[in-house]
Chain A
Amino acid sequence: MKRIYVNEKWCLGCHLCEYQCAYANSGIADMVRALKGKAIHPRVRVEDAGDVHFAVNCRHCTDPVCVQSCISGALTKGKDGIVRIDRQKCVGCFTCVLVCPYGAVLPSPEGHAAMKCQLCTDNTMGEPNCVKHCPNGAIVYEVREAAQ
């Protein structure tokens, strides 16, 4: 399946992906209105460590430990391979947050549910908005093979 992959070498640590993610999932058509004066809670997070930068979001694991650990059945892996969270079913126990080895399932700001990247299938963007706006190809949306 197509997933988001990181080309760490090209990440500039500009954090645009975080803002594009927050915007994409805001449900508001105008970016300024969506983000101005607000703290953002993106589903992609950029790590900065000196000259090293890279974005982290859900890997949509082949065998997702978050889905297996979910106490409410809110997390599922679809036939399309996308790991989704049903925020209505989620009770916010954050077991998924504890088991995700990537730190890619995040507590949502309101606290009652977890949140995660769903490859922009749950908003109106059509394709991952972070990838679309990455200025340097540091995150890409494509099919890749597993490491040998």
Chain B
Amino acid sequence: MKKYTYVIIGGSIAAVAAIEGIRSEDKKGDILVIGEEPCRAYGRPLISYYLLGETDLARMDYRPETFYEENGVALRLGVRAEKIDPAKKTVTLADGEKIDYEKLLVATGSRPFDPPMEGIESVKERFRFMTKADALALDKALSPEKRVLIMGAGLIGLKCFEGIASRVKSVAIADLAGRILPSILDETGATMVQRTLEEHGATFYLSDSVSRFEGGTARLKSGKSLDFDILVTAIGVRPNTELIKEAGGEVNRGIAVDECGRTSLPDIFAAGDCAESFDVASGTKKVLALLPNASMQGRVAGANMAGGKAKLENALPFNSIGFFGTHVMTAGVYEGEIYREKTERTYKALFTKDDLLKGFILINLPERAGIYLKLLKEHIPLSKVDFEALKTSPAWSAFSPEARERNFAREI
């Protein structure tokens, strides 16, 4: 039986960050990565850019080819970890092999979740849009005469649309919600982005869903029906928490972890889309299934696995996403007082409450948006900065000279 100091289940972003976290503390201890996907880590959100032709398989690799070797990492790819025995400190793989660990990281990510849909098995060309394999499969199916139906007008569904828009005949997008990107945009923002997408050929069926599939026809709840050739389901994701749950670890919506990435089981850590984070914007524990969060969790967990003292203290939901050159940046929660600025092309909404910035939406206003995110992340009282000036344009001149001294005249 093989034994590794560090075993990581899952091979994506959290795993890569964890390797870097481990190596920031321990240059020697051996590391094994067990990945179900048969490839090295890649930027998962890049799959839409792949379809769009803005990147290729080589450039999608998240780290250079030499990364694993240089960091002394052994790879077991294309195999699933089936079971964790926290008492014996072993992981059992699908092929029956057992591996001993000293420290274990569960970075199993999430999987697409499709609610049961009547007649779904009658749909011939059915795809999901999560993995490189999904994208490659969809890529093969695309052709200019085909009509596509995307279920779900969230981030995944809409990025999929952007990727395929120019490669197929038509794209219809259906969502139960009354507006697109309901988790990150308000009505005004959603309307603006929807218009952009419509200009690029999307047809939306909102506040609607498929009640029944009949081969290439979707019967909608509203009574309408849609003919399509390709179906993409992008309705939602669920964290992969089973390994920990079955091993007796605490699981809520995601795997419960402390700010150091520790699960309730000894020497077992969790990071990425399978694990919870403490969202400082809402003050609640949540699964923040976002790449930067996976990376930061992975890094913290890795450092702590190797005896470091890292903490993740300012997690919060934020997104930067573009559709056909329209850039949408959002963060936090949308509660409290609202400051709005709107032009034909741009939209800004800042949400403030209790002397804090709680959330924001910025459409086509990317420049220096990080200054708003800083206010949010660091809970900076708005009375301590010139928020009137910040409202119109994010700038460091709104901060105190001392803050500027610390940040611009010192090593950071």
Interface residues in chain A, defined as those with a beta carbon under 8 Å from any beta carbon in chain B: 3, 5-8, 47-49, 52, 54, 56, 59, 61-62, 68-73, 88-89, 91-95, 97-103, 105-107, 111-112, 144-147
Residue numbers in A under 8 Å from B397 (CB-CB): 47-49, 52, 54
Residue numbers in B under 8 Å from A3 (CB-CB): 411
Is A94 a contact of B327 with CB atoms below 8 Å?
A: yes
Tell me which residues from 324 to 357 in chain B have a Cβ below 8 Å from any Cβ of chain A: 325, 327, 329, 331
- Within 8 Å by CB of B370, from A71, A88, A98, lies A98
Residue numbers in B under 8 Å from A95 (CB-CB): 291-292, 320
Is B396 a contact of A71 with CB atoms below 8 Å?
A: no
Interface residues in chain B, defined as those with a beta carbon under 8 Å from any beta carbon in chain A: 17, 43-46, 49, 54-55, 59-63, 291-292, 295-296, 299, 318-322, 325, 327, 329, 331, 366-371, 373-374, 377, 389, 394-398, 401, 404-412
In the complex, the number of residue pairs spanning A and B with C-beta atoms less than 8 Å apart equals 140
CA–CA, A3 and B412, complex, Å: 10
- Within 8 Å by CB of B409, from A8, A70, A73, A97, lies A8
Residue numbers in A under 8 Å from B371 (CB-CB): 101-103
Q: Tell me the minimal C-beta distance from B313 to chain A in angstroms.
A: 13
Residue numbers in A under 8 Å from B374 (CB-CB): 101
Is B404 a contact of A73 with CB atoms below 8 Å?
A: no
Known contacts A47-B395, A71-B43, A105-B370; A99/B292 CB under 8 A: yes
Is A89 a contact of B292 with CB atoms below 8 Å?
A: no
Q: Tell me the minimal C-beta distance from A112 to chain B in angstroms.
A: 7
Residue numbers in A under 8 Å from B395 (CB-CB): 47, 49, 103
Which of the listed residues A49, A73, A95 has the most CB atoms from chain B within 10 Å of its own CB?
Answer: A73
21 contacts between A and B (CB under 8 A): A5-B408, A5-B410, A8-B408, A47-B396, A68-B296, A69-B292, A70-B43, A73-B63, A93-B45, A94-B366, A97-B367, A97-B369, A98-B329, A98-B373, A101-B407, A102-B408, A103-B368, A103-B394, A105-B370, A107-B327, A146-B411
Is B389 a contact of A98 with CB atoms below 8 Å?
A: no
Is A72 a contact of B401 with CB atoms below 8 Å?
A: no
Q: Tell me the minimal C-beta distance from A137 to chain B in angstroms.
A: 12
Known contacts A62-B412, A101-B374, A105-B370; A94/B46 CB under 8 A: no
Which of the listed residues A3, A5, A59, A93 has the most CB atoms from chain B within 10 Å of its own CB?
Answer: A93
Closest chain A residue, CB of each to CB of B377:
A101
Is A6 a contact of B409 with CB atoms below 8 Å?
A: yes
CA–CA, A71 and B395, complex, Å: 25
Residue numbers in A under 8 Å from B394 (CB-CB): 103
CA–CA, A20 and B124, complex, Å: 59
Residue numbers in A under 8 Å from B408 (CB-CB): 5-6, 8, 54, 56, 59, 102
